[in-house]
Amino acid sequence: MSQPELGDHAPTFTATVGTSDHESFDLEDHLGDGPVVLAFFPGAFTPPCSNEMIALQGELARFADANATLLGVSADSPFCQGAFREEHGIEFDLVSDMGGEAIDAYGVGIDIPDLGLHGIANRSVFVIDDEGAVAYRWVAEDPTNEPDYEELLEAVEAA
């Protein structure tokens, strides 16, 4: 599936939150209460993904000031995500997309055959505004690249 363009209605999806409770997640429940940030990442406990999630955690106050909901999304299991959150002190929710619904809906699925990884998320960030439209989109050309955090925060504050 192709990636949504700026201004497109953001695809919604259901998944599981990677916490000890493994509660269900529905993106629709988060729309209309300020910007929603979907930070797709390839896999927990890898150096670039750890760096990115820690960097986002470090900016949590700015996301909160913008009334934004920050969510990390990966194909990792909820158990793996819960351990990852605990190890790195991540306070925002991680969404387990093991079935690939969100990854497919946003067109960010990749394979890294050398590592035996298939159907994982490419590193990418989407900001969804109050009307449910894509207000910002960044997709890595190389999944080891991280987004420009200042540019992301400015897009969140403008959404």
Euclidean distance between CA atoms 122 and 112, whole angstroms: 10
Instruction: Compute how many other C-beta atoms are within 10 angstroms of the C-beta atom of residue 138.
Output: 17
Q: Which residues are catalytic?
A: 49
Long-range Cβ contacts of 19-27 (<8 Å, 24+ apart): 19/78, 19/81, 19/82, 19/85, 19/93, 20/82, 22/78, 22/79, 22/82, 25/93, 25/95, 27/102
Q: Which of 73, 1, 90, 2 shows the shortest CA–CA distance to 36?
A: 73
**How big is the chain, counted in residues?**
159
Q: Would you say 126 and 35 are in contact if contact means Cβ atoms under 8 Å apart?
A: no
- At 60, list the tokens: 């949590």
